[in-house]
Amino acid sequence: MAERLRRTQATAWTLCAVALLTSCSNEGPPPPQLPTSISATASPAADATVPPTASPIPAGAHGPARNVVRPVMRPNGGDESKEGLENFTRYFFDLLSYGFETGDVDDWLKLTDPSCKFCSNLAGGIRAGYEGGKWLGGARVFTESVDAMTKDGVLTRNVTLLVRQEEIRFFSPDGTETRAPKAQIEQPTVVFLSYREGAWFVDDMGRLVE
């Protein structure tokens, strides 16, 4: 594989645009950290329990998404193996998608290392999108392909994947859209992980550079 991997800050990955920061340029200094006063208020979609018969209701002018099912990791997602690492990575991005739909990123952040500034900035941006009764529409995240990299049969603990995210819409408390939607993206991505005390953690992530 003639690809070069590069660690980047939050501005380097295309998904930084959906971190709700005003700038997402790959040039120049990164945007400042979001204020620590941003609350973690989740939308009504982040119900503790969704009845099994409840149908998901996408967000729109009528209100935030409802009946969003919280992702569940496959049983071997905690294994220190290629399959386990790939399933953990899928779960990690499923939880990120859940966060975009609900504003609830608490469980997602628990899977990241505190040193991952991109992760904390992205979580803060998502929370800001739900602050004061606001909500996001669309924005679901999908992993189109996932590959835990190996060298001489040994895991490198780096995962490459193709991430797709739907168009993101921004709604005010009265249901009007506050800005132009962010277009759908597809982004080759690399995730850097570590395995500690029987669990995987994301240390950093960035775009995959040819």
Q: What domains sit in the chain, N to C, each tagged with a CATH number?
A: 4-20+76-209 (3.10.450)
Of residues 203 and 37, more confidence is placed in 203
**Predicted pLDDT at 205:** 93
Ramachandran class of 20: left when φ > 0, alpha when ψ lies in -120 to 50, beta otherwise: left
Q: 132 and 106 in contact (C-beta within 8 Å)?
A: no
Of residues 92 and 53, more confidence is placed in 92
- From 13, 5, 44, 48, select the one nearest 30 (Cα to Cα): 13
- From 145, 51, 42, 60, select the one nearest 98 (Cα to Cα): 42
* Alpha carbons 101 and 110: distance in angstroms, whole number: 18
Q: Environment class of residue 156 by beta-carbon count within 10 Å: exposed (0-12), middle (13-18) or buried (19+)?
A: middle
**Predicted pLDDT at 31:** 29
Tokens of 152: 């001489």
Quick: pLDDT tens for 132-163. Answer: 999 999 999 999 999 999 999 899 999 999 99
- Helices 117-128 and 82-102: crossing angle in degrees, nearest 10, is 30
**Predicted pLDDT at 54:** 82
Report the chain's mean pLDDT, rounded to a whole number. 81
